[in-house]
Amino acid sequence: MIELNLPSWAHEASKTVVADGVETHYFELGQGPNLILIHGGGPGADSWGNWQSCLREYARHFRVIALDMPGFGGSGKPSPERYPYDQASRNRHLIAFIETLGLGPANLIGNSMGGATALGVTIARPELVAKLVLMGSAGLAVNNPDPSVKEKLKQYDYTRESMRAVMQTMTGSQFEIDEALLQHRHVLMQEPSAQAAIVKIVRSDLTYPEDSIASVKTQTLVVAGKEDKIAVPARNQRYLELLKNSWGFIIPHAGHWVMMEAPEVFVGITTAFFTQNWA
């Protein structure tokens, strides 16, 4: 595993557990109701890169746990020849993680592919989920009709500058790229097993049938960046139409990574959702 430059508090919060046969790295901070943060699936994604700006603030109210999914960060990266890296395996892994640590029912926040994973667990095992936040979430077959967005992401070639292009595509117009975060994501993708895994991951289908999504009765907050080029407004609107017990919150000037682009607003609105009765 590649050694990363993390602050001392992050090292102290770093733990591992085996879930669904995969050694799974996660950070754990704070006390209170269980809150699980699930990162997205782009190159260089992991729990630290996605959630570092939110972890300690969430820990004031929750026992907050941010895990690395299989193929990412400090978690195991089994060979694609023996591990499918499909959405069903991600759902199964998160269910096993929750059950192994005895976390259910937990509040879940999922970004992008992590949103599809949180949603998949909620569809399959609603008793494990207290409340759900979908932020820039995958899961619905409603996409940006502009083909140039996909083309930009396909041009990623493991170089530092192509990682910069990925980050620029994922974020809103006012976001200034943190060079330390760029380096963090770049270093993660220099690991050969991570490169092998991401090739399989980006080809996986992240969508569910609309009737399966509509079956979810769990209270859900749909959070969107107004400038998100991936989870476009039509997708978020469709989630609100399908999910009976859902609320929506749109953040201006933000793109696909609201938790990095507007962490104070994001933590504030999600904490209110989890701690207050909005029914």
| Distances from the Cα of 5 to the Cα of 68, 90, 160, 187, angstroms | 16, 27, 17, 10
Q: C-alpha angle 64/225/268, rounded to 5°? A: 40
Active site residue 228: yes
Active site residue 46: no
Catalytic residue among 20, 46, 68, 228: 228
8 Å CB contact between 64 and 56: no
Question: Token pair for residue 120?
Answer: 């998949």
Catalytic residue among 47, 112, 137, 246: 112
Catalytic residue among 25, 93, 186, 256: 256
Say how many Å lie between the first and final Cα of the chain, rounded: 45
Residue type, 24: T
Active site residue 148: no
Task: List the alpha helices (DSSP H) in the chain.
Answer: 8-13, 47-51, 55-58, 87-101, 113-124, 147-154, 160-170, 179-188, 192-201, 210-214, 233-242, 258-261, 263-275
> Any idea which residues carry the catalytic annotation?
112, 228, 256
